[in-house]
Chains A and B, each alone.
Chain A
């Protein structure tokens, strides 16, 4: 298992835990269970966790598939600097968030899942992993001059029509022809790049 980045799995698990917390919280609140305010907390915590975990971090090797529309949350999460980059912080945060939800049966599944996610983040942190935002590279504007690789192969002054016909036949074959532009009407040399 040499190349695994545990944080990727912890991220999936935390996102799932967030959704489970929200669901459990809705059940407890809507059903007006005893001490349903834990359910309300659970919904809030779940939403927060989903927002935090939605932007996927960049993998060290290879390309990372972005989640749909994650670039907006990436900007926000990036703002927290070391608090969002460091996985020890996330591990402790998730562990702490999971505790109040453990008081209700409806949300205890969320607690268990979030605790597992916290454990995996801890493992990721001990292996030195970090959250790096996926940023789109700024599009390189092609500089106007650089795309022209070779000067025109048959600039004026050009030789008369017959000589030109012979030249153009040769040119069809070799597209990358370089020639001294000022050396007309000497025949063009057939240089293959």
Chain B
């Protein structure tokens, strides 16, 4: 049994606190409308309660999705509750209800009276309900923002997100309308309660029974009502302001000049862009958002930085998979054979860099780095940076041992990264520290002809595919073995496990980290960190 609490504890704690807050607020506002005498007549008329809870805490994708589902759930509850409200209020107004409700609804007809029932026109249902919905601010904003929410949800499903990103991205911007509508949704104040002044003169508990005498006897004048001021805006104005600031910062950053110093084409549809920007500072494994106005004026795409902070430029490796990347490929002149002049290269806007878990790599003595396919890119940055730090001052480096795993389907994608590994391998040997970096490359998509080839060349010194001294392995790693071997070689250490790759692998590694960690404070601990885009 391992250290489940260490690995998962913080996230679970935050989520539980947030859920607890939601439940608390739900119950609290339920009681706000359920208990006080101010809403006595409101309750009588409606016989039900409405709640609204909107809390926005954008911390990361999973949390964002949870919040979105919570918003959807509460929207559903809120809408259904108000559907009943409207139906009953309109019915009371057209004398299709119990006499008490009808009498309550009549308040407001005479001059000097304030209404309790927001349905003032006597139009029968269902037209009456529809009329309320389109003439009242709450109705209009309610329908519009619910539609926006539904469109956002349907375009955010995994299929649409992964296949047609633009639809997802542009539709998601409907949230602007959503939040503006939400803020003004209650501005007309049609949910009514008795005014405090009226409560002094007219006590509902004493007067409610003789409604026909209201205004005629001394102790029970006709009660006065008013609407609650809108409150949702107080919850959302802070986050909205923060978001606005972030977009402004991005806009300002996009105006800063970025120069492409070098473009390298790598095999298998990969290009490398080396750039310089004044005042650009990065850490290992961070990512940037890149916009190329020549390709698309509105799209920003995230890319992991593959250069180390110690270098005087920053670089990204881009795989050509969709129309934006293809556009960039053509704009940089990669399809042409002859040398391109520097002034022909397109203008680029860069936002970032933004941080990820890889920054923590240097705080461990031993790390396991696992990259699957293109997920190896943050580790390119880390390995380069490790190399520079090692060269500059090896003794100050806390990191003593790196276990690097690269899982790849085919051999083509090796090329640009293999050069880096070769360089590191030679340098390590020169410094007599060949054991510092131990890397394992796994080819998960081998076929028979390749297997034959490997079998023949098994005894040679260098690996046939990569030219590296450490051999390429085939199939998938046996993680249990790997973890156990590493644990036995480094007892009583905190070992960081870093992954950039698919969900299934994340689950596997997470479980292995937990089960191979010892429960006490001494003993080996595997701390799992995952980054994902």
Contacts and interface: CB of A to CB of B under 8 A. Distances in A.
B417 interface: no
Contacts of A9: 154-155, 160, 164, 167
Contacts of A176: 448, 452
A154 B80 CA distance: 79
Contact of B83 (A4, A20, A106, A192): A106
Contacts, number: 109
* Among A15, A16, A34, A106, residue most surrounded by chain B Cβ atoms (within 10 Å): A34
Nearest to B296: A1
Interface string B137-155: 0000001001100110111
Contacts of A116: 147, 151
Contacts of A62: 163
Interface in B70-111: 76, 79-80, 83-84, 86-87, 91, 96
A34 B163 contact: no
Interface of B: 76, 79-80, 83-84, 86-87, 91, 96, 124-126, 129-130, 132-133, 143, 146-147, 150-151, 153-155, 157-160, 163-164, 166-167, 322-323, 448-449, 451-453, 455-456, 458
A38 B127 CA distance: 13
A128 B414 CA distance: 40
Contacts of A13: 150-151, 154
Interface string A52-93: 000010010010110000000000000000000000000000
Contacts of B157: 12
A192 B458 CA distance: 13
B126 A35 contact: yes
Contacts of A65: 158-159
A112 to B, nearest CB: 6
A112 B83 CA distance: 16
Given A8-B160, A16-B154, A108-B133, 11 more contacts: A3-B323, A4-B167, A8-B164, A27-B80, A34-B125, A56-B159, A65-B158, A105-B130, A106-B129, A109-B150, A175-B455
B129 A2 contact: no
B20 to A, nearest CB: 28
A113 interface: yes
29 contacts: A1-B166, A9-B155, A9-B160, A9-B164, A9-B167, A12-B157, A23-B76, A27-B83, A28-B83, A33-B129, A34-B87, A34-B91, A34-B125, A38-B126, A62-B163, A65-B158, A65-B159, A103-B126, A104-B129, A104-B130, A105-B129, A105-B133, A108-B130, A109-B147, A112-B143, A113-B147, A174-B456, A176-B448, A176-B452
Contacts of B130: 104-105, 108
B451 A175 contact: yes
Nearest to B125: A34
A173 interface: yes
Given A9-B160, A113-B147, A4 B452 contact: no
Nearest to A65: B159
B155 A12 contact: yes
B455 A5 contact: no
A31 interface: yes
Nearest to A102: B130
A109 B139 CA distance: 12
A76 to B, nearest CB: 22
Contacts of B126: 33-35, 38, 103-105
A23 B160 contact: no
Nearest to B168: A9
Nearest to B129: A105
A108 to B, nearest CB: 7
Contacts of B124: 34
* Among B86, B126, B167, B458, residue most surrounded by chain A Cβ atoms (within 10 Å): B126
A20 B146 CA distance: 11
B215 to A, nearest CB: 31
Given A31-B87, A104-B129, A193-B452, A3 B159 contact: no
Given A20-B150, A109-B143, A192 B453 contact: yes
B164 A105 contact: no
Instruction: List the 9 closest A-B pairs by CB distance, nearest first.
Output: A34-B125, A105-B129, A12-B154, A4-B164, A176-B452, A13-B154, A104-B126, A193-B452, A106-B83
